[in-house]
Amino acid sequence: MNICAWQKKAILMLCNSNSNSNSDSNSAKRDVEILLSYITGKKNGWLLAFNNIKLHPMHLIQLNKLLRRRIQGEPISYIIGKCEFWSLSLHVSNVTLIPRLDTEVLVEQTLNYLPSTPCSLLDLGTGSGAIALALAKERIDCHITGCDRIFDAINLAKNNAERLHITNVYFQISNWFSDLVPQLFECIVSNPPYIDINDEHLKKGDLRFEPLSALVAEDKGLADLKIIVSTAPKWLKPKGWLLLEHGWQQGIIISKMMKRYGYQSITTINDYGGNPRVTIGQFM
């Protein structure tokens, strides 16, 4: 079977799949292109130019295996083991969340609130290291610490830093602040678990394959956010900033929570879809 024939067959199978949350023709075509490029090692332009070339039998076997996983709804990033975030090519696995485009808003806002001079930042629940690495890339004069309670996540983040040759970041095991060496940061950022265990979206799309430990928090999704908001003042320098990603219906709750714990200049920023997503507060 040549490249063109397999591509048409794969797109049709994806579009006809009820379990695939991205079953429109455009996203199916994009998924198939990614799989072809991943298995053959060829860029999309080459695949388009030489789509009459026959696929190697071993490549065809591999492609069909990966296609079956995609038909079952498994995220394409888990299938190929990588994704793009803030122009960084990150390795990902099912021990961490797949970095979302909207989380880039958290990176943007953090960069806006950082002082122009060298400073230190803390990324809580770093996962694949996406946020910490994006910040470290943009501010090579700053030192970023990323922590996570999952050992495999820390190893993944370290691997990403090494591959990307980013050296101004340090990753360590810590359940939020519990295992950190006492110190003060100019800025603390986090994209913690904030989904209620009963949320119906957990049974749909990519969320079905992502670790619940990185998605779900007790107290209607607010438990971890409360821990961070209440504890962060002990770790912030005077006039330091806390920036939190949260659910689109949690902005007002987080703002009130920050106010209760003494934060000032509190504001909530919308994501790219226009939903309240990042709340920011300064502790004096």
> Do the Cβ atoms of 205 and 215 come closer than 8 Å?
no
Closest of 21, 66, 12, 11 to residue 203, by C-alpha: 21
Angle separating helix axes 251-260 and 223-231, nearest 10 degrees: 30
Q: Is the pLDDT of residue 23 over 80?
A: no
> Which pLDDT band holds residue 252 (cuts at 50, 70, 90)?
very high
pLDDT at position 17, please?
77
Q: What element of type H or E holds 143?
A: strand 143-148
Q: CA gyration radius for the chain?
A: 21
Same fold, 3-73 and 94-283: no
Segment 211-247, tens digit of pLDDT: 999 999 999 999 999 999 999 999 999 999 999 999 9
CATH number of 94-283: 3.40.50.150
120-124 β-sheet, strand order: 169-173, 143-148, 120-124, 185-190, 236-245, 276-283, 264-270
Q: Is the pLDDT of residue 250 over 80?
A: yes
Count the Cβ atoms, other than its own, within 10 Å of residue 72.
12
Q: How far apart, in Å, are the Cα atoms of 234 and each of 16, 48, 136, 228?
A: 54, 56, 23, 10
- Average pLDDT on 10-33 reads 78
Q: How far apart are CA 244 and CA 106, in angstroms?
A: 7
> Do the Cβ atoms of 269 and 105 come closer than 8 Å?
yes
Segment 47-58, tens digit of pLDDT: 888 888 999 999
Q: Does domain 3-73 have CATH number 1.10.8.10?
A: yes
> Do the Cβ atoms of 136 and 171 come closer than 8 Å?
no
pLDDT at position 76, please?
94
Name which residue leads in pLDDT, 241 or 41.
Answer: 241
Least confident interval from 24-28, 155-159, 185-189, 246-250: 24-28
Q: What is the DSSP letter of 203?
A: G
- Average pLDDT on 109-130 reads 97
Q: How far apart are CA 92 and CA 128, in angstroms?
A: 6
CA pseudo-torsion sign 91, 93, 95, 96: positive
The residue extents of the domains of the chain are 3-73, 94-283
> Do the Cβ atoms of 257 and 225 come closer than 8 Å?
yes
Count the Cβ atoms, other than its own, within 10 Å of residue 170.
15
Tally the residues of the chain.
Answer: 284
pLDDT at position 19, please?
54
